Amino acid sequence: AQSVTQLDSHVSVSEGTPVLLRCNYSSSYSPSLFWYVQHPNKGLQLLLKYTSAATLVKGINGFEAEFKKSETSFHLTKPSAHMSDAAEYFCVVSDRGGGFKTIFGAGTRLFVKA
């Protein structure tokens, strides 16, 4: 069965500094991987997705992620944090072994300090 592990429950950065949110996955098939962001009491918004094309994926709001099969990782990065980036981020995996159900990581809370 597929699974996903987000290595940090919370990350704190200063505004203007880089962001790194770490995600490792497990899948017996070629997975699809996604990053979603959730602001308080809101639904989830797709940031970006990887589906076996380019390994470096660019998303919205300046975020990008790199798929590294050898490391089974899909870390999310942003060169310069903005206050509005403060939110909960979820790494998600989906593969045909699980009937394409989407499995969520535990989430990483990003804090941005002024």
- Rounded-to-integer distance, Cα 4 and Cα 98, Å: 13
- Rounded-to-integer distance, Cα 93 and Cα 21, Å: 15
**Site membership for another protein, residue 86 (CB under 8 A):** no
**Site membership for another protein, residue 95 (CB under 8 A):** yes
Q: Residue 80 Cβ, how far from another protein at the closest point, in Å?
A: 25
On whether the CB atoms of residues 112 and 99 are closer than 8 A, the answer is no
Nearer to another protein, 38 or 72 (CB): 38
On whether the CB atoms of residues 15 and 82 are closer than 8 A, the answer is yes
H or E, element range at 48: strand 44-50
> Which stretch, 15-23, 49-57, 67-75, 76-84, contacts another protein (CB under 8 A)?
49-57
**Site membership for another protein, residue 105 (CB under 8 A):** yes
Positions in the binding site for another protein (CB under 8 A): 32, 34, 36, 41-46, 49, 51-52, 90, 94-96, 100-107, 109
